[in-house]
Structure 1
Amino acid sequence: MFDVVVVGAGSAGCALAARLALRTGRLVLLLEAGSGDFADPDVGSLAATAPGDPRNWAHPVELAPGVPAVVPRGRGIGGSGAINGAVWTYVTPADALGWSVPGWTYPTMRYWYAIAEREPIYATDGPVPVQVPTGELLHPTAERFLAAAAALGFGEEPYKNAGAPPGAGLVPSNSRNGLRIDPARAYLPNPLPPGAQRFAATSSEDSDDAEPASGPQRVWSLDPQWVVEPRAPVVRANSTVLRVLIQHGQTFGVELTSGERISAKEVVLCAGAVGTPRILLRSGIGPAEMLRAAGIDVHVDLPDVGRGWSDHPAVFLPFRAEDPPPHPHAPTAQAALNWDAGADPAGDVEVLLFTRPFVPDGDLHLMCALQQPDSRGTLDLDRISYEYLRTEHDRRRLRHALRTGADLLRAGLGARTEPGGDVLGNDRTLDEWIATHLTTAVHMCG
């Protein structure tokens, strides 16, 4: 029997399983539904977010009434953190204050960020390298973006993770030498520094005597001081959890979709904002009426499971720029403008610059998004609804974000491809254009 089963090897699961095994010595099993192979480490690649890629769940969703979409979520070791844009930005002090949750204050969160990071500004030595683009990694469009924001009167935010008021600044990235340092690479025993050996404990008592892991070892060209710890979780891929096993109000393990049962003293769900509530629902934890209608025995009536989550409604504003392609080691998302449009002093609106085209020889893009939407989503066993743009407040702010993006382009950033000025200048036609171009920043939470 395992001491702890952690379900989902994404950002939370990799960090939690690794730290539990290392710090407590407990026997930890980390289960992942997708592949056990590491994802493409190229920080400039977003190829795995395309529908049909095996590292992507590609959930069919409804963003707004009559607006279907397919939303990527990471499937495989590293989760969404292995296929995303490698943007590493903190909660803001104002947001943390608004949560009013013990243990989640800004100073506490800042401490735990530092534990995770290896970055020079705060002189920390965690497993995740963090950098902002400078020198040859800084694309000319990022420099023009900052200059355009200043010309429009927006304040400067020199470092996005310094806790300063929102403004225009360069975006930190969890990458090094062109490699996305995803959760699996940061926290799990592989990949290895050159010449290192991986040791895997077979129980919580015998890690000091464990034998070197057999089989081929991966070579990873990162700093040689990356330490491989003797205690590590057991990682099992291609293992989709159907439900948590519950008896007399206590969990005693998990059941896989294959029918296999795995016993554990504790089960921790880290399966993401879609996977975790769906596992809870299949386990009989959720709205009782819905569960009974689906033929699921009710263990705990929790009406809010699958309810009340949020994400960032977004629209991409395409533009052309006569610049050389980015350096191969440069992150794609390089600069952002955040500001308060009246809903959140932390900055409820964002324009994010993407310095690589999404398709060869295509346009560059500004992602114009709401950071604090009014909309709250719902999901159940077979449906995901974002409920975007239900309020005029959200529609007004997203129009404002797009028009600000267009202002940045006019201020010297680049030449807007669409929409035309007749669309931008009219609320009704702009709302129609937004409805046909609406997407999401893929940051579900709640």
Structure 2
Amino acid sequence: MGTKYDNIIVGSGPSGCAVASGLTRDHPILRVLVLEAGDNYNDKNLRIDGKRWLTHQEKDMNWRYKTVPQEHCGNREIDYSRGCAVGGSSAINFSIYSVGARDDYDEWARILGDDAFKWDNMKVRFKELETYHRGIPAGVDRKYAAPSPRDHGASGPLHVGYAAEWERDLVPMLDIFEQAGFPLNPDHNSGNPIGMSVSINSANKGLRSTAKDLLDPKSKGLTVIFNSPVQRIIIEGKKAVGVEANGIQYRASREVIICAGALDTPRILIHSGIGPKEQLEKFHIPVVKHLPGVGQGLRDHYFVPLANIVAATNNDRRAFYSSDQAMEEALEQWKHDSTGPWSKFACELGICWFKLEGLSKTKEFQDLPAKEREYLQKQTVPHYEIVSHFPLHWFMPEFPHDAFEYSSLVVFLYNAQSRGERVTIEALRDALRIANHSAYIKDKIADLTAPKSGSDADLLEYWKQNMSSSWHMTGTAKMGSPLDEDAVVDRNFCVNRIKSLRVADMSVVPLLVSGHTQAAAYVTGATCAEMLIRDRHFYETYNTHFASWIV
């Protein structure tokens, strides 16, 4: 039997660490336990900014999940990497820090009927989470990057901002977008991501910032135990009283909060007897509570790359990436003062979100429910994303050794309709406006990867054969009204009909936010922490707290 705690948090990713930080920062008397399945890695080299694209290859830090072969993707298995370390997926992700659209959060609030999730309230939490570093390289015009201090925090534990040095073809790339008629946006984290921006990263001065940075080692009330994968929640009657990890039972006098992510949270719930009755019975798991929405409703963003080999005078990548000596010397420089090529190459991206002008005229759009049509037409909600300067050579098998001067664009599909293909086709076609623009292809030597043609059939086939997950899994334990058949948790993150059990991670978010989801995961945990603190006092006063949920 393990020690008894006030609250037990399962998972130390962005959501779990935000919950733990919120509980222990202002209430040090609380005894809070965080259980993490992975190890606690302290090697600073795992935080090298320019190697952010390689950390996910550390096998011991990655669950290495894959989908089953996908019928409509050439029967390919799709990589579903998830972090297995203190810091969760923030320990292996690519450090893009984008909060999404203000209309995402207002829609979340509308769905739940709760202003706690509105943009104005979420923005306060985002600012509390971050320390935003405003610096940009000398000589760079502020039309490309000029976030307002009123939109950013200055004292949070998560360090975000721009790389100190940018590759020399980045600003020319931004100019090409502007020449092609795409607007510039000096801050994609203002609440309106629409336009071409420079990416804000969860990194500063060559060093990545992860969820682990939210855990205060001086907090007397916080205990973190790693290498402790949770097998099940201990439920007595209809109340969660603890969890079991590696055969050890840890007990909670107040609540258990599951923050294991959109793939592992449903697994833990189902192994605990909470989920679709037919699945539980199929695997001979005693049914504690039939909740048909557990493990259902998975949503994700998907991407395909476009890339050209370009003239050697276009950029400096070959001299660095093709030379083991250059990379080793750069590593020694980084170890000395966190500067040099490993804090420059692939540390800054062009990033943009756009709308499709003709979307509302398609039959697929017209077939959507009225509320979803209304949401997709909101001012700040994009339909697709493009990222430049993605280091494609680390992801393409058998990359040509003489092709390091390549230029890449990665196209992400956002807000896809549940049936049909038009958004996929039109998003890629719109991206080809840049890929085929005269200023973009003036240095082009050959295609590295591209559709055969611009026909509907070839664009769709290109998606099928090349698309990958963006690792933005969401919605598998969805938040909603207790009357919604597919809802797993209520607006307070409480699991329906189970006392003292909450879920706070991307599995509960009832929509797929318009950005890379680590920021949304942080704010989800921060919001849950506020509700726990509020409800803790309520619980102390009224022993019948949550009684109306118990069946």
Report TM bin, short chain.
Answer: 0.7 to 0.9
By how many angstroms is 1:272 displaced?
0.8
Q: Which runs of 4+ in 1 moved over 6 A?
A: none
Q: Which residue does 2:124 correspond to in 1?
A: 111
Q: Which residue does 1:206 correspond to in 2?
A: none
Select the residue among 93, 103, 108 that pairs with 2:102.
93
In structure 2, the CA distance between the partners of 1:358 and 1:43, relative to structure 1 (3 Å rule), is: farther
Equivalent residues, number = 388
Select the residue among 17, 20, 33 that pairs with 1:17.
20
1:328 is the counterpart of 2:316: no
**Structure 2 segments unaligned to the other structure (5+ residues):** 135-148, 321-340, 360-375, 476-551
Q: Which residue does 2:67 correspond to in 1?
A: 61
Distance 1:115 1:413 in 2: 45
Is the CA contact 2:162–2:201 (under 8 Å) kept in the aligned structure 1?
A: yes
Select the residue among 375, 386, 389 that pairs with 1:354.
389
By how many angstroms is 1:180 displaced?
0.5
Decide which structure has greater helix share.
2
Distance 1:373 1:413 in 2: 33
Is the CA contact 1:117–1:130 (under 8 Å) kept in the aligned structure 2?
A: yes
1:391 is the counterpart of 2:395: no
- 3-state SS, counterpart of residue 138 of structure 1: coil
Distance 1:437 1:356 in 2: 16
Select the residue among 204, 209, 214 that pairs with 1:187.
214
In structure 2, the CA distance between the partners of 1:355 and 1:399, relative to structure 1 (3 Å rule), is: closer
Please say which of residues 245-254 and 348-357 is displaced more in the overlay. 348-357
- 3-state SS, counterpart of residue 366 of structure 1: strand
Q: Which residue does 1:28 correspond to in 2?
A: 32
- State the identity as a percent: 26
Q: Which residue does 2:474 correspond to in 1?
A: 445
Select the residue among 365, 368, 371 that pairs with 2:414.
371
Counterpart residue type for residue 116 of structure 1: L
1:156 is the counterpart of 2:184: yes
Counterpart residue type for residue 38 of structure 1: N
Supply the RMSD in Å over aligned alpha carbons: 2.4
By how many angstroms is 1:409 displaced?
7.9
By how many angstroms is 1:428 displaced?
1.6
Distance 2:316 2:303 in 1: 27
Is the CA contact 1:9–1:30 (under 8 Å) kept in the aligned structure 2?
A: yes
Distance 1:49 1:408 in 2: 34
Decide which structure has greater strand share.
1
Select the residue among 326, 338, 351 that pairs with 2:353.
338
Q: Which residue does 1:220 correspond to in 2?
A: none
In structure 2, the CA distance between the partners of 1:414 and 1:306, relative to structure 1 (3 Å rule), is: farther
In structure 2, the CA distance between the partners of 1:165 and 1:336, relative to structure 1 (3 Å rule), is: closer
- 3-state SS, counterpart of residue 197 of structure 2: strand
| 1:134-186 Cα deviation digits (max 9, x unpaired) | 6xx122232122111101101111111122360001111111111101110x2
Greater length-normalized contact order (CA 8 Å, ≥ 6 residues apart): 2
**1:18-417 equivalent positions in 2, closer than 5 A:** 18-24=21-27, 25-38=29-42, 40-45=46-51, 46-50=53-57, 53-62=59-68, 64-65=70-71, 66-99=75-108, 100=110, 101=112, 102=114, 103-119=116-132, 120=134, 121=149, 122=152, 124-133=154-163, 137-164=165-192, 166-184=194-212, 186-189=213-216, 199=218, 230-256=219-245, 258-265=246-253, 266-321=255-310, 322-325=314-317, 327-330=341-344, 332-341=347-356, 342=359, 343-344=376-377, 345=379, 346-359=381-394, 362=404, 363-375=406-418, 391-407=420-436, 411=440, 415=444, 417=447
By how many angstroms is 1:391 displaced?
2.1
By how many angstroms is 1:92 displaced?
0.8
Is the CA contact 1:4–1:28 (under 8 Å) kept in the aligned structure 2?
A: yes
- 3-state SS, counterpart of residue 275 of structure 1: helix
**Structure 1 segments unaligned to the other structure (5+ residues):** 191-198, 200-229, 376-389
Please say which of residues 435-444 and 118-127 is displaced more in the overlay. 118-127
Distance 1:8 1:414 in 2: 47
TM (norm. structure 1) is: 0.81
